Structure 1
Amino acid sequence: MKTIITVDDASTIRKMVGFTLKSAGHNVVEAADGMEALNTLKQRPVDLVITDVNMPNMNGIDLTRQLRALPNYRSTPIILLTTETDPAKKSAGRAAGATGWIVKPFSQDQLLAIVSKVLPN
């Protein structure tokens, strides 16, 4: 069983992502923004980070950059969720160290497919 953190300022998205992941047998931790996620992740390791890009306090790209600077998170998969289709945002996400990208709205099947692709068994 893997532990996954879902980071989004919209509680409905966190709940939907959390429900989907829990139903697939994962443990889920939630955070409302990048600062809360960073503080949580310094205390407890996770196997995967799924984060929104546009959030108050600290956005998903900054969170990705901060996590990549920590030894425990150099190789942890980080998936960015976004409504952005702008190639420049995707480049910024990749440059920050994101593993993958899901554009909202997405289906539960899409989410589970990318999770199973990036999580080591």
Structure 2
Amino acid sequence: MEKNQLDCLIIDDDPGICRVLKSYCENLGVFRHIIIAGDGVLGCNKLRNQKFGLILLDVNMPKKSGLDVINELGTDQLNRIEDVIIVSGELDKDKITSILGSGVKNFIIKPFKEEQFQEKVLPIIKKNFSKNSK
């Protein structure tokens, strides 16, 4: 894998979770930039302007929820639903149904360990690296 070809976007309103996610991403050593957006509105603005190889998204946020971000991402030509991992501690049956219906397939439930994080993230990174090298 060639390093530093992909960018990562973390969309979460909890600064502590953002720090943990950023640290875990840095430990992978594969991202050119790791950008943090503290709410769904800022996240959508970033998604409109930049391609990301990995998008880590909380569901419960002020201003614009993760579900709203996913719905907006569905019309995005730059970024893909397949590159989203939902990172949340509160997922009821209705939210899970909505998320799965949108095409998102990956979840990390808070709290989580770095090994669990890598288990979900590495397949997406590998897939995007293979696409970039073609």
Distance in 1 (alpha carbons) for counterparts of 2:61 and 2:20: 17
TM-score (norm 1): 0.91
Kindly tell me: are residues 34 and 85 of structure 1, through their superposed partners in 2, closer, same or farther at Cα, counting changes over 3 Å? closer
Q: Please state how far the C-alpha of 1:98 moved relative to its aligned partner.
A: 1.6
Aligned partner (choices 64, 68, 73) of residue 70 of structure 2 = 64
Identical-pair percentage: 25
Point out 4+ residue stretches in structure 1 off by more than 4 angstroms.
Answer: none
Cα distance in 1, alignment partners of residues 98 and 8 from structure 2? 23
Q: Which runs of 5+ in 1 are unaligned?
A: none
Between Structure 1 and Structure 2, whose CA radius of gyration is higher? Answer: 2
Asked whether 1:88 is paired with 2:94, we answer: yes
Rate the CA distance shift 1:75–1:102 in 2: closer, same or farther, 3 A: closer
| Structure 2 counterpart SS, 1:54 | coil
Q: Contact (CA 8 Å) 1:77, 1:99: kept in 2 or not? A: no
Residues 1-121 of structure 1: matches in 2 within 5 Å? Answer: 1=4, 2-25=6-29, 26=31, 27-119=33-125, 120=127, 121=129
Q: Distance in 2 between matches of 1:94 and 1:75?
A: 11
Return 5+ residue gaps in structure 2 as ranges. 130-134
Number of equivalences:
121
